[in-house]
Amino acid sequence: MDRTELLGMDLEELCGVAESLGEKKFRGKQLYHQLYRRQNLCLDTMTDVSRRFRTLLAERATLYLPAIRQVQCSEDGTVKYLLELDDGARVESVYLPEEERTTLCLSTQVGCAMHCAFCATGAGGFVRDLSAGEILAQYLVISREHGLLNQSINIVFMGMGEPLLNVEAVLKAFAILTDPSGCALSRRKITLSTCGIRSGMARLAQTAVRPKLAVSLNASSAEQRRRLMPCERQYPLAELLADCRRFPLRKGERITFEYILIRDVNDQPADARRLVRLLREIRCKINLIAYNECPGLPFRSPTGDTILAFQNVLVEAGYSAFIRKSRGPDIQAACGQLTTRPAEVPGL
């Protein structure tokens, strides 16, 4: 008989598990509190949960945390984890400490089907979606490694995969992460980055409890975007921007546009001027990210002067445009560098 995986279940589902095992509903609530609020995944030490219930759970359910297969530490403090899931599939998750805040970058799929030309994940192809439990598990593993329980942290769904192609699992994980009785993280500190899946954006637009929206744009024209991001054929730039204009933003909320600057591809002042026109009338900010060179991919990082000149055009046009510092490029942990393969480290 298949055993039930508990991690990733919401309160209602855990209460259902309790009742199906002949326990009172509130036992499910106790279990939910232990798993997510206390981040305790060991049934033996859940002492407020009755012994009978724990024995039944040990026989009929599982609590699976991915195994850490590789840890790489950057000189800037970034730590990249290669995690192995129950079926042997692998994902990467990144811990990014900064002076004023800590951010975790989580994956939502094993591999990615979007095939962005500049991205190492896309080059490896798509394997499968992650479950809500597998998304949460990345947070719990890193939280345990770095003692993050009860700490205010940021989460970005910007690791491997296109989150809006796995939107139900992502929203379920998000609800547990931000439930005050669950992991109790701030909703305002969780961001989802998409390359513009229309059905997923429509789903987000209808959802009251949702992460902040970031759109991975990376081009100043449809033609340029088609060369960098094949999804342009299915989800054209004009429609994407129309969806952004209609997106129901909350008070004070803005859409973040991510723009990876690639030398001599999309990093010229003329690109910045086109971007100014494209984003007109969208409440937004723009994050400029210098491309991180990946072995095997033909693109190059922009020069520092080019990045500043690009930013100036945007700022002079009245946009909030920030240059995002690249984190962990020495361990291939920066944007677009995540893969399922372990790095070749002497001695491993």
Q: Which residues are catalytic?
A: 92, 335
CA distance 272 to 252: 25
Q: How far is the CB of 74 from ligand SF4 (least distance, A)?
A: 20
DSSP string computed for 279-314:
TTT--EEEEEEEPPP-TT----PPPHHHHHHHHHHH
Asked if 127 and 137 touch (Cβ cutoff 8 Å), the reply is no
Burial class (CB in 10 A: 0-12, 13-18, 19+), 264: exposed
Asked if 81 and 68 touch (Cβ cutoff 8 Å), the reply is yes
CA distance 340 to 209: 31
| Distances 223 to 115, 123, 166, 238, 287 between C-alpha atoms, Å | 16, 21, 27, 11, 21
CA distance 103 to 148: 11
Closer residue to ligand SF4 in complex, CB, 46/213: 213
The SS3 assignment for 148 reads: coil
Q: How far is the CB of 262 from ligand SF4 (least distance, A)?
A: 12
Characterize the bridge pairing of strands 61-62 and 67-73.
Answer: unpaired
Q: How far is the CB of 109 from ligand SF4 (least distance, A)?
A: 8
- From 61-69, 142-150, 157-165, 309-317, span contacting ligand SF4 (CB under 6 A): 157-165
| Distances 175 to 94, 209, 340 between C-alpha atoms, Å | 21, 7, 27
Closer residue to ligand SF4 in complex, CB, 17/171: 171
Q: How far is the CB of 115 from ligand SF4 (least distance, A)?
A: 6
Closer residue to ligand SF4 in complex, CB, 7/338: 338
What mask, x for binding ligand SF4 by CB under 6 A, covers residues 168 to 197?
A: ---------------------------x--
Q: Does 214 bind ligand SF4 (CB under 6 A)?
A: no
Q: Which residue has the tokens 């929206």?
A: 213
Closer residue to ligand SF4 in complex, CB, 30/340: 340
Record the tokens describing residue 164, joined without a space: 């809006």
Pick one of 35, 91, 110, 160: the residue that binds ligand SF4 (CB under 6 A). 160
CA distance 314 to 258: 13
What mask, x for binding ligand SF4 by CB under 6 A, covers residues 104 to 123?
A: --------x-xxx--x-xx-
Q: Does 336 bind ligand SF4 (CB under 6 A)?
A: yes
The number of residues in the chain equals 348
What mask, x for binding ligand SF4 by CB under 6 A, covers residues 194 to 213?
A: -x------------------
Q: How far is the CB of 247 from ligand SF4 (least distance, A)?
A: 19
Asked if 31 and 39 touch (Cβ cutoff 8 Å), the reply is no
Task: Please tell me the count of residues contacting ligand SF4 according to CB under 6 A.
Answer: 12
CA distance 335 to 320: 21
Q: How far is the CB of 6 from ligand SF4 (least distance, A)?
A: 29
Closer residue to ligand SF4 in complex, CB, 30/339: 339
Q: Does 163 bind ligand SF4 (CB under 6 A)?
A: no
Closer residue to ligand SF4 in complex, CB, 95/126: 126
Q: How far is the CB of 48 from ligand SF4 (least distance, A)?
A: 41
- Nearest residue to ligand SF4, scored by beta-carbon proximity: 122
Q: Taking CB under 6 A as the criterion, which residues in 15-54 touch ligand SF4? A: none
Q: Taking CB under 6 A as the criterion, which residues in 269-308 touch ligand SF4? A: none
Binding positions for ligand SF4, rule: CB under 6 A: 112, 114-116, 119, 121-122, 160-162, 195, 336
